[in-house]
């Protein structure tokens, strides 16, 4: 299997290249860039491999001729601008940016602050690749955002089974600095991040509409969510703490919630459900795992769900490989055997 990666200099693109390099079904990786200095891109990999890494100029026709699938690990706006030729030829694309996630171009413009380059018809054909909930895919797979992945994984059983008040959801999510990307900014400067914690994009984060889009597919009467994002002084890892009012009026609420999570994730190799504990980042960082725990307060009737992932793995490159495996019929765990770093 020959694969193309378009855009490999960011954190997600680099991790994607590392994963595909050890994938048992990948025989060749071709790297493409729209940057003029190809040598500068190639030098990024000199320390990682003894092999010469060839970086090629972006050419849609050449990519389709020389590869079986293309991963786009590019900033928002790039896939939409470059991918039309691939889409016209039904060439498989797995996009790690947000360009194919939202079905409404107006929503994309509102939340990403740029015009959508992809038509509504094309967007409606794209598959939102939350892998645990995607039985089949189209040729265009929109890899979910990191915040969306952690939040949706934590909410799915409760929303699908209507165990919570659909107007009561509050999400307090925090990510490591790599989630902000590689582009330099004051917010991610070491001096400002180290020994600090800050909120950002309050009520404005671009992952909110994709979360709502998916929740409404599970429950059309889903109400709006309160969503807060914060920046942790760590390199990677993401924790979504979710609060919702439980509607079940029963002494067996904990058993009902446990049964819902068990039924949803019992056969999912990358999901770990903690029965009587709360997960922390060390349980997942470095792996493609999602760890989920919860606690129900019988006084307030509020359930607290904690969902943790590695934002570069399950929140980006790892899930992209999961989608790759699913699309081509490979074992879901192929190329994703990494254990959490723990220390």
By annotation, the residues acting in catalysis are 146
Under 8 Å between Cβ of 322 and 131 = yes
**Structure tokens given for 239:** 């924790």
CA dist., res. 165 & res. 242, Å (int): 13
CA distance 247 to 182: 42
Q: Nearest Cα to 325, choosing from 62, 69, 73?
A: 69
DSSP letter (8 states) at residue 246: B
Look up tokens 């999602």; give the residue. 290
Q: Report the distance separating Cα 9 and Cα 31, nearest Å.
A: 10
**Cα–Cα distance for residue pair 227/235, rounded to 1 Å:** 22
Q: How far apart are CA 159 and CA 277, in angstroms?
A: 22
Place of tokens 């914690």: 197
Encoding tokens for residue 342? 């723990």
Q: Distances from the Cα of 267 to the Cαs of 22, 73, 163, 288, in angstroms?
A: 25, 29, 21, 15
Instruction: Dihedral sign for Cα 194, 196, 197, 198, please.
Output: negative
């Amino acid at each position: 299997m020959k694969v193309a990666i378009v855009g490999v200099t960011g954190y997600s693109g680099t991790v994607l290249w590392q994963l595909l390099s050890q994938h048992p079904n990948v025989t060749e990786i071709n790297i493409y860039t729209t940057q003029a200095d190809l040598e500068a891109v190639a030098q990024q990999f000199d320390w990682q491999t003894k092999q010469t890494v060839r970086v090629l100029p972006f050419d849609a026709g050449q990519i389709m001729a020389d590869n079986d699938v293309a991963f786009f690990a590019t900033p928002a706006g790039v896939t939409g601008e470059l991918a039309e030729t691939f889409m016209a030829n039904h060439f498989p694309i797995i996009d790690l940016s947000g360009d194919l996630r939202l079905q409404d171009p107006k929503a994309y413009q509102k939340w990403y602050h740029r015009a959508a380059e992809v038509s509504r018809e094309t967007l409606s054909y794209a598959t939102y690749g939350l892998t645990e909930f995607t039985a089949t895919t189209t040729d265009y797979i929109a890899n979910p955002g990191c915040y969306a992945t952690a939040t949706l994984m934590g909410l799915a059983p409760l929303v699908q089974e209507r165990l919570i008040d659909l107007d009561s959801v509050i999400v307090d999510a925090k990510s490591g600095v790599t989630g902000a990307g590689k582009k330099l900014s004051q917010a991610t400067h070491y001096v400002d991040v180290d020994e600090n914690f800050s909120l950002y994009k309050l009520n404005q984060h671009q992952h909110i509409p994709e979360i709502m889009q998916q929740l409404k597919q599970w429950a059309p009467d889903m109400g709006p969510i309160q969503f807060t994002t914060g920046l942790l002084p760590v390199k990677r890892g993401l924790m979504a703490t979710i609060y919702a009012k439980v509607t079940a009026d029963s002494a067996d609420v904990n058993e009902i919630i446990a049964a819902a999570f068990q039924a949803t994730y019992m056969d999912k190799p990358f999901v770990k459900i903690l029965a009587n504990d709360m997960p922390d980042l060390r349980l997942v960082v470095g792996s493609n795992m999602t760890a989920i725990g919860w606690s129900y307060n019988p006084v307030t009737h509020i359930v607290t769900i904690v969902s943790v992932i590695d934002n570069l793995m399950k929140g980006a490159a790892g899930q992209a490989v999961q989608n790759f495996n699913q699309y081509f019929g490979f074992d879901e765990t192929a190329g994703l055997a990494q254990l959490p770093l723990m220390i």
